[in-house]
Amino acid sequence: MPSTEELLKRLGVEIDAETLRLALTHRSYAYEHGGLPTNERLEFLGDSILGFSVTDALYRDNPTLPEGELAKRRSAVVSTRALAGVARDLDLGQYILLGQGEKLTNGADKSSILADTVEALIGATYLVNGIETARGMVMRLISPLLADAEALGAGTDWKTSIQELAAARKMGGVEYAVQGSGPDHARTFVATLRIGGTAYGQGTGHSKKEAEQEAAAVSWRQLRSVEPADA
């Protein structure tokens, strides 16, 4: 594992070496090293702090939004996809302690592992520094997501959102053309979304579902940036 000094600098907090190592210990590594403690308890703790911090920010920043829309935006901001994006911005994957099996299947870039580790780091920050420091770190990490919360709200399920948008504009049927490449243990999929026979966004992912969601997200943003002809 590379030096964690740069990671702590990016997080903007101090965490002692033992607690930080625990936060970065995936269960696959722990299992292969005789049943070491994993980061899952810290993840559980961090999830609660993250949820509260995001809820508080959304409530205060959007005084006229109804409960349903607040809940939708919160779900999007704390989603695995959103947190994995935060983790990739931090280059977090290189620091996570993984078992050999996860290393061989590119576990350092798996969205679920990245998102869980972000939550574990939040939990570790709380244990070492207290709630205010932990909340401050959360807000630094997710402030760009909060700024784009409306679009992320659609991202709770991009495929449903693009279906609804296409139907509202009477554009025709939505379909995905997906192609896979690479060995079985490290497949990459590319999806192209078509509406009414016209190609729109393209997405990539380690599964067909992930690639289709990315294609739907790109297409949704493309269409939202252009008003319908009869508007």
Which residues does the annotation place in the binding site?
43, 116, 119
Cα–Cα distance between 74 and 146 in angstroms, integer? 9
User: CB-hemisphere CA count at 13 Å for 164?
Assistant: 9
Residue 184's alpha-carbon distances to 18, 98, 104, 188, 203, in angstroms, are 36, 20, 11, 9, 19
Is the separation of the CB atoms in 177 and 162 below 8 Å?
no
- Binding positions for Mg(2+): 43, 116, 119
Residues recognised as catalytic: 47, 119
Task: Record the tokens describing residue 182, joined without a space.
Answer: 């690479």
CA distances from 130 to 22, 38, 82, 135, 193 (A): 17, 21, 24, 9, 46
Q: Indicate the SS3 state at residue 75.
A: helix
DSSP state of 3: -
If we measure between CA atoms, which residue out of 98, 50, 104 comes closest to residue 74?
Answer: 50
